[in-house]
């Protein structure tokens, strides 16, 4: 398996250096246009996390945000194999806008699933139902794509001790404040979530691209699962964290003999 790579660059610039029809799975977890700057929690260092990271998460209008995302998606599509998959991670603010954009760019017939990641943690509001999920929009590049249905423990008494195919609602806890997996990077996603998505939507030995890789969770999941990982991010702190995490994942997987170092760019 080729070693993972992570580059300090913008999504749009990063894809210009990749080969055509070389990527099996695009997973993008871009900023959600919350209007609030995302930053490491104040007390992160007390928990032994030395990371301090922040990024802007605001566009002038929803239309400007969708245009930003559309430009990058269109530039990435030539890199995807005809059997490839596209997964865009978003939330209630723009999921409906993003789905219409994906219908326009890829075609409504390429829609596969509107996945719901239900995580349970979070606050509540006196003005409405508590928001406890993110959305992941799953599309094919063409009419036929690679997919291997993930399996989860069965909950019925009749199937006790067995597994069943996962549904479009993924019940995976978010990272709590005491989790050893936490790096201190804001909006870090759990490895368990990306492990399910990578194994389901990218063939063994295939290539996973995360152009907004943040703390590198997708890259770790891909490396651990025997897929090639490629990531981009503009944040200095994100690159430091991601490189350290995928180096550990690469070393863990390459226990036979001395592994090659993680490739770095930019």
pLDDT of residue 48: 47
Model confidence over 136-187: pLDDT tens digits? 999 999 989 999 999 988 888 899 999 999 999 999 999 987 888 999 888 8
Query: Can you tell me which residue has the tokens 């995490």?
Result: 245
User: Residue 65 and residue 59: Cα distance in Å, rounded?
Assistant: 6
pLDDT of residue 138: 98
Model confidence over 50-81: pLDDT tens digits? 566 777 789 999 999 999 999 999 999 999 99
Q: What are phi and psi of 89, to 5 degrees?
A: -90, 125
What residues contact residue 1 under an 8 Å CB cut-off, 6+ apart?
Answer: 205, 226, 227, 228, 253
Q: Average pLDDT for residues 22-44, to the nearest whole number?
A: 85
| Residue 190: DSSP 8-state | P
Q: How many CB atoms lie within 10 A of CB 237?
A: 20
pLDDT above 80: residue 259: no
Report the percent of the chain where pLDDT is more than 70: 91
Mean pLDDT of the chain: 90
Q: How many CB atoms lie within 10 A of CB 140?
A: 22
pLDDT above 70: residue 260: no
Q: Strands 23-28, 169-171: parallel, antiparallel or unpaired by DSSP? A: unpaired
Task: For the chain, state the CA radius of gyration.
Answer: 18
Q: How many residues does the chain have?
A: 266
pLDDT of residue 256: 46
Asked whether 229 and 248 are in contact (CB, 8 A), the reply is no
pLDDT of residue 239: 95
pLDDT of residue 257: 46
pLDDT of residue 134: 97
């Amino acid at each position: 398996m080729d070693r993972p790579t992570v580059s300090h660059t913008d999504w749009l610039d990063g894809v210009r250096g990749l080969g055509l029809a070389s990527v099996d799975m695009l997973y993008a977890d871009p900023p959600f246009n919350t209007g609030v700057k995302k930053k490491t929690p104040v007390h992160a260092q007390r928990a032994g996390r030395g990371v301090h990271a922040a990024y802007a998460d605001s566009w002038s209008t929803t239309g400007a945000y969708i245009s930003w995302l559309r430009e990058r998606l269109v530039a990435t599509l030539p890199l995807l194999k005809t059997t490839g998959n596209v997964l865009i991670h978003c939330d209630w603010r723009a999921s409906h806008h993003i789905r219409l954009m994906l219908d326009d760019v890829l075609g409504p017939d390429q829609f596969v699933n509107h996945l719901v990641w239900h995580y349970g943690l979070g606050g509540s509001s006196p003005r409405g139902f508590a928001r406890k999920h993110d959305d992941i929009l799953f599309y094919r590049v063409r009419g036929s794509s690679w997919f291997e249905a993930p399996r989860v423990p069965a909950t019925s008494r009749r199937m006790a001790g067995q597994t069943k195919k996962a549904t479009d609602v993924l019940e995976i806890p978010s990272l709590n404040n005491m989790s050893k997996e936490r790096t201190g990077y804001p909006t870090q996603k759990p490895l368990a979530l990306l492990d399910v998505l990578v194994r389901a939507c990218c063939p063994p030995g295939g290539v996973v691209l995360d152009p907004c890789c943040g703390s590198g969770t997708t890259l770790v999941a891909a490396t651990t699962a025997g897929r090639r990982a490629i990531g981009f991010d503009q944040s200095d702190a994100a690159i430091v964290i991601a490189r350290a995490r995928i180096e550990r994942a690469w070393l863990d997987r390459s226990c036979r003999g001395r592994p090659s170092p993680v490739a770095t760019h930019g």
